[in-house]
Structures are given as structure tokens and as C-alpha cells.
Amino acid sequence: AGPAAATDALAGRLAAARPGAFDVTTLPDAAAADRALRDREVYAAFVAGPEGITLHTAPAASPTVAALLTEAAAQLSAGRPVPVVQVVPADPDDPRGAGFAAGFLPLALTSMLAGALLTLLVAHRGARLLGLLGYAVLAGLVGAAVLHGWLGVLDGDLWREAGAIGLFALAAAGTVAGLGALLGNPGIGLGALLVFLVGNPLSAVSAAPELLPQPWGTVGQFLPVGAGGTLLRSTAFFDGAGATRSLAVLTGYAVVGLVLVLVGRFRSAEVAGPVADERRPAEITV
């Protein structure tokens, strides 16, 4: 951000220092850069001014990316200290984001297990549906209480955070339960694959999707765990900015999962009691 001549030169130096590493957007001034950071449109901004470069960052979006860009700024300035302005800081109790990532992992695991257990142990479709909805509410409330109140790694509105966690839990558990209702035990395995075994490594919850090999970073954002992590970050630190896609993805998984639970043919039998053989024995005439 800054005057055109300065920003063009800075973009050229970035491209020369790390070819292909940065997707550069030019903004008119520092205020526009800060707005882009708060809207989750960029991870950081190099602001060119009369006194040199200032780095504006949003560690709440990804502490890892903020650290990498701080190193890049030092290289561009030939080792001179570069002032850093944290426009959207990470939670002070979790500056590296490790607590956020570690706290989100159990939510993914328990949601996968909840979907599998409801499929295997609950016979009736209506009961499964109520079980999924009840689990989502409980997961949202407990997850927000732990991550916000106990661990202190979230910094937004508690009820909105609970809603984001609850929607993620419903999407993840509903995916497993829905595929289980559609395909039986293979469906449970496929759901676990999407939600956890593949979805978790591609989620980039501990880093950023852009740091994964492409297109896998983008693919991960269309799976429940990746979308859930993005939604929770946006809710907790950015007042919902940048949450549109993740909200749509999770809603889609939740709705499809619930529909499959209702219509799937693989469900524990709606027990109809033993069928008695009402045929009377033939009479024998002596």
C-alpha cells in the first residue's frame, strides 16, 4: 500500500526475493490496507511511506503467515528493523495459534464419532435426527465454553462462537451419519475419511490454506474441518468477515447429511417384533 511508484518497486522486490510465493494486491494507502486485513482479504500489507516500510499484519488469521511475512519484511529492508502493526492480533493467551488448532481437533474427532455411533446404535430415523441436533447444540455450548472461557483462545462473542462450533459439529456428524444411512458401514468409513482422515490434514487449521500444495489447500476449505476452522476464526476475531463461503459449505454438509439420515435405506431395523407362525398343524384323522 502507498504511492504507485513505491508499491510497484516493492512488488518487484517481493517477486524477486521469493518468486511465486506472494499474491500481491496494490492498495492506495494504509487505511485501505487495514480495511482489507479486517475483511480477511489479505494476510498482511507492506505499507510504503516517507520513512520506509511498515508491515501491517493480521496474526488472528494465521500466526504462521504473519511470522513468515515479518521475516520477508526484514529481508526486504536489508536487515534493518521493520515496524510491525498488528491490525487484528491473535488472542494474547494464544499468540502462536497452537491452542486454537489443538482445541479444534477434538471437535472434529468427537463429531466423527458421534455420527458413527448414532448410525450404529440408534434404530429410528427420527431419533437419529434428534440425536444429531442435540449433539450439535451440546458441542457448540461446550466447545465455546472450553475454547473461549477455559482455554481463552477465542476473542469474540461467546454465543456466535457457540453457533459456529455447533454448525460445524452438525455438518461433520451429519456427514458421517448421512453416508452411513445411505451406504451402511462403508458409508461410515467414507464419512470418517472426508471429515477426519483426509479433511483434517487438508484443513490448514494450524497454518493457512495457501501454505498447502495447491489445489489441496483449496480442496480442504470445501471439507467440513477446513470450513469449520475458517468459520470459527472469522467469527472469533473478524466479526464474521470472510465467513460466507465456509458458512455455505457447512450448511450444505449439514442439510445433505440430515436429508440422507431421513431417506437412507441403511438404518437399524425399525423393529417389528418376531413374526409368529400362525399356520395351524394339519389335523390327522385316525
pLDDT at 180: 95
Strand pairing class (84-86; 52-57): parallel
Instruction: Say yes or no to pLDDT of 242 above 70.
Output: yes
Say how far apart CA 151 and CA 73 lie, in whole Å: 32
Cα 113 from Cα 100, distance rounded (Å): 21
Domain positions in the chain are 4-86, 98-263
Per residue in 144-203, pLDDT (tens digit) is 999 998 989 998 999 999 999 999 999 999 999 999 999 999 999 999 999 999 999 999
Looking at the chain, the whole-number percentage of residues with pLDDT higher than 90 is 66
Nearest-angstrom CA–CA distance, 250 and 172: 8
Residue 273 confidence (pLDDT)? 42
> What is the spatial distance between Cα 115 and Cα 188, in angstroms, rounded to a whole number?
8
Record the pTM: 0.86
Each residue's pLDDT tens digit, 47-103: 887 777 889 999 999 999 999 888 888 777 766 788 899 999 999 989 898 999 999
pLDDT at 79: 66
DSSP code string of 142-188? HHHIIIIIIS----S-HHHHHHHHHHHHHHHHHHHHHHHHHHSHHHH
Q: CA 50, CA 155: separation in Å to the nearest integer? A: 35
**Is the confidence at residue 12, as pLDDT, over 90?**
no
Q: What is the pLDDT of residues 113-151, one digit of tens each?
A: 999 999 999 989 999 999 999 999 999 999 999 999 898
The better pLDDT of the pair 143, 266 is held by 143
- The contacts of residue 13 (CB under 8 Å, 6+ apart) are 76
Q: Which residue has the cell 455450548?
A: 141
User: What number is the average pLDDT over the span 243-248?
Assistant: 97
